[in-house]
Amino acid sequence: MSLFVQKYGGTSVGSIERIEGVADKVAAFRAQGHDMVVVLSAMSGETNRLIDLANQIQEKPDPREMDVLVSTGEQVTIALLSMALKKRGYDACSYTGGQVKILTDNAHTKARIQSIDVERMRRDLDAGRVVVVAGFQGVDDDGNITTLGRGGSDTTGVALAAALDATECQIYTDVDGVYTTDPRVVDSAQRLDRITFEEMLEMASLGSKVLQIRAVEFAGKYKVPLRVLSTFEAGEGTLISLDEDDEMEQPVVSGIAFNRDEAKLTIRGVPDNPGVACKILAPIGAENIEVDVIVQNISAVDGTTDFTFTVHRNDLSKAREVLERVAGELGAREVVSDDKIAKVSIVGVGMRSHANVASRMFSALGEDNINIQMITTSEIKISVIIDERYLELAVRALHSEFELSEPRAAS
């Protein structure tokens, strides 16, 4: 018999009927004799509702109290699912992150898991009980409740699977697997039977929220077999493959990711001396603002240059403040910013063995009159920053250019 860790997302537990549906699914696995650990999200919309309440009281809510607040959503669903399982004659017990002892660091609202105590869960499993755990939360050394960042229940699921050495971690959601791109944006997006772990890591980090990036990192580090499937439809879903051989016959591009979370800042007319990049970016880093794409132009005849970079949209006003100050110190001409940008990325291990991928990408965008503002590449991805208005057009153009709408041969 197997041990499965199953994680159900917000839509999957969004109403009493849906929680009853999840109970039926879990009960069916248990009836086959499998050991079951179930991780749940809050009901869909609940975490946003709680965040909104906090924002009505404090402009920047206290991080410790924010975690006490937002972790309550998951406590509701785990209790309800355990009741639904008991109603069906299956023994079950629900636990908050602190009760299981999911120990994290103390970085409130974005804590990292450090260790998990499996003893209590093992005892329950040995007694034939279904273990139901609140996703997204843990506890720090001092007993404070912490949360793992938006989408963090995925990470709870994978971390429990790693700690319990589960047969598979199954992420049940409202789509039936990982697609070539968000199926809500491109109708013809295709479900992938498999995606390599490296590609999934890039897709998640570049904006595909189907899996939280830390969950993918955890799965890679601890070699957890990970699958994304639908709560509502039968099917094999998508396996996140850790098998290097899978790279052999990969298409050039496996998927397209995008996000609207970034904003762009430019400092114009900075004297182009050695060390200028550091003088601009060090004060930004000192404010804990992460910088993503960076472009420095070649010097103009007067020995000045323009320097552009992107940050998270939430950090734009702070970053602009810092940059205005730096501009004054360096004698730069002006600072300009734009938060109506988007990043579109093509991802694929197949790029390693194919030339011209970048030029195909750029010409497809050019044909649709989409101007590229910035470009960044790595071994298996190319990202461009464009005007946000053209995001969906760009994703569709690239999806068609790289023939991603064609059904894949079964692997």
- Residue ranges binding ligand ASP (CB under 6 A): 9-10, 41-42, 47, 73, 135-136, 150-154
Q: Report the alpha-carbon distance of residue 379 to residue 359 in Å, rounded.
A: 15
Q: With binding defined as CB under 6 A, does residue 49 bind ligand ADP?
A: no
Q: Which of 151, 152, 157, 251 binds ligand ADP (CB under 6 A)?
A: 151
CA angle 11, 14, 15 (to 5 degrees): 145
From the CB of 204, what's the least distance to ligand ASP, in Å?
Answer: 13
Q: What is the distance between the alpha carbons of residues 291 and 315, in angstroms, rounded to a whole number?
A: 10
Q: How far apart are the first and last CA of the chain?
A: 26
Could you give the CA distance from residue 305 to residue 300 in angstroms, rounded to a whole number?
6
Q: Which of 6, 11, 96, 104 binds ligand ADP (CB under 6 A)?
A: 11
CB closest to ligand ADP, residue no: 9
Contacts with Mg ion by CB under 5 A lie at: 9, 151
CB of 50 vs ligand ASP, minimal distance in Å: 9
Nearer to ligand ASP, 154 or 182 (CB): 154
Nearest-CA neighbor of 109 among 57, 152, 46?
A: 152
- H or E, element range at 139: strand 137-139
Under the binding rule (CB under 6 A), the answer on residue 77 touching ligand ADP is: no
- Using CA atoms, how far residue 7 sits from 170, 197, 281, in Å, is 6, 19, 40
Q: Which does 150 bind (CB under 5 to 8 A by kind): ligand ASP, Mg ion, ligand ADP, none?
A: ligand ASP
- Strand, helix or coil at 92? strand
Taking the complex as a whole, how short is the minimal distance between the CB of residue 175 and ligand ASP, in angstroms? Answer: 15
Gyration radius (Cα) of the chain, Å: 23
187 by DSSP, 3-state: which?
coil
Closer residue to Mg ion (CB): 9 or 61:
9
Residue 174 binding: pick among Mg ion, ligand ASP, ligand ADP, none (C-beta 5-8 Å cut-off by kind): ligand ADP
Shortest separation between residue 14's beta carbon and ligand ADP, angstroms? 9
- Closest CB to ligand ADP among residues 316, 394: 394
Residue range at the interface with ligand ADP (CB under 6 A); choices 45-53, 182-190, 260-268, 382-390: 182-190
Stretch near ligand ADP under the rule CB under 6 A, chosen from 74-82, 121-129, 208-216, 219-227 = 208-216
Sign of CA dihedral 100, 102, 103, 107: negative
CA 398 distance to own-chain centroid: 22
Of the pair 169, 319, the CB lying nearest ligand ADP is at: 169
| Smallest distance, Mg ion to C-beta of residue 209, A | 6
**What values do phi and psi take at 181, rounded to 5?**
-155, 180
237 belongs to the binding site for ligand ADP (CB under 6 A): no
For the record, the structure tokens of 262 come out as: 């970034």
Residue type, 276: V
Asked whether 362 and 267 are in contact (CB, 8 A), the reply is no
Residue 208 contacts which entry, ligand ADP, ligand ASP, Mg ion, none (Cβ below 5-8 A, type-dependent): ligand ADP
| Residue from the set 208, 250, 305, 345 that interacts with ligand ADP by CB under 6 A | 208
Q: Which does 137 bind (CB under 5 to 8 A by kind): ligand ASP, ligand ADP, Mg ion, none?
A: none
Q: Assign residue 258 a region (left: φ > 0; alpha: ψ between -120 and 50; beta: otherwise).
A: beta
Report the residue number, 10 or 348, with the smaller CB distance to ligand ASP. 10
Say whether residue 173 binds ligand ADP (CB under 6 A).
yes
Strand (E) or helix (H) holding 116: strand 113-116
DSSP-assigned letter for residue 411: -
Q: How far is the CB of 9 from Mg ion (least distance, A)?
A: 5
The answer to whether residues 237 and 228 touch, using CB atoms and an 8 Å cutoff, is yes
145 versus 175: smaller Cβ distance to ligand ADP: 175
Among 80, 94, 85, 76, which Cα is nearest to 29's?
85
Q: Which of 41, 104, 146, 254 binds ligand ADP (CB under 6 A)?
A: 41
Which residues lie near ligand ADP (CB under 6 A)? 9-12, 41, 151, 173-175, 178-179, 181-184, 208-210, 255
